Amino acid sequence: SRPIRIAPSLLAADFARLGEEVRAVAAAGADWLHLDIMDGHFVPNISFGPVLVRALRRHADIPFDVHLMIAPADPYLEAFAAAGADLISLHPEAGPHLHRSLQTIRGLGKRAGVVLNPATPVAAVENVLDLCDLILVMSVNPGFGGQSFLGSQLGKIAALRRMIDAHVAAGGQPIALQVDGGVTVETAPRCIEAGADVLVAGTAIFGRPDYAESIAALRGTGRA
């Protein structure tokens, strides 16, 4: 079985103590830190920008996984790269040239990801697989933490797992398969079973008292 990585979403953290929260989840075993960037235009909520990403960068050494929910995204890719993002993911709907956006991210020396909204088909990514280090399946509509998991997305995760495995078998580079939205100890095993290998979780980690216990439980290595 493939290793499962956990990426806590900072959106559910205490925003008055963000540095401390980042250090706490890193110490609790988080593999990546997921940072949700919202512009109040592409999604109906506003979060934070590159200035905050930069300020948090010195609080942990784990990869910063930046999920852009902004349109257009291209004018801001360089700022997020300079702020310390390791992975930068964007939605195909954020601009007319997904292929070019992914090339730009790679050209900045960062890993690139494509995010599929619940209504966005797998076909949106199949012609840019060679430029993807990550594919993220949204299991809620983006914009807010704490929403219920959409089981309708499990088939998409399974289809992407088959697509990625075929790509790698044909000599392609590895691609992480991530799920974001409503991931809990109940829904995480269904995502893993369908083929996901990186789970994003906001409220299921920051909304609970023991971060290490919650991360281990989501990974499937917690005490029963």
DSSP helix/strand/coil, 109:
coil
Among 180, 206, 215, 218, binds Zn ion (CB under 5 A): 180
Residue whose beta carbon is closest to ligand DX5: 202
Which of the listed partners (Zn ion, ligand DX5, none) does 196 bind, with a CB threshold of 5 to 8 Å by partner kind? Answer: none
Among 92, 113, 181, 195, binds ligand DX5 (CB under 6 A): 181
Cα separations in angstroms, 188 against 35, 172, 183, 218? 19, 27, 6, 6
Q: Is 218 in the site for ligand DX5 (CB under 6 A)?
A: no
Report the nearest approach of ligand DX5 to the CB of residue 122 (Å). Answer: 19
Which is nearest to 10 in space by CA: 200, 138, 209, 212?
200
Assess whether 180 carries a catalytic annotation.
yes
Q: Which amino acid is at 221?
A: T
Tokens standing for residue 158: 């399974």
User: Is 181 annotated among the ligand-binding residues?
Assistant: yes
Q: Map tokens 């730009």 to a residue.
A: 104
Enumerate the H helices of 108-223 as residue ranges. 154-169, 188-194, 203-206, 211-219
Q: Is 120 in the site for ligand DX5 (CB under 6 A)?
A: no
Q: Is 13 in the site for ligand DX5 (CB under 6 A)?
A: no
Q: Is 5 in the site for Zn ion (CB under 5 A)?
A: no
Q: Quick one: 173 exposed, middle or buried, by C-beta within 10 A (0-12, 13-18, 19+)?
A: exposed
Residues 99, 128: contact at Cβ < 8 Å? Answer: yes
Tokens standing for residue 95: 């601009």
Among 204, 215, 217, 218, binds ligand DX5 (CB under 6 A): 204
Known binding residues for substrate are: 9, 67, 143-146, 180-182
Residues in touch with ligand DX5 (CB under 6 A): 9, 11-12, 34, 36, 67, 140, 142-143, 145-147, 180-183, 200-204
Known binding residues for a divalent metal cation are: 34, 36, 67, 180
Q: Which residues are catalytic?
A: 36, 180
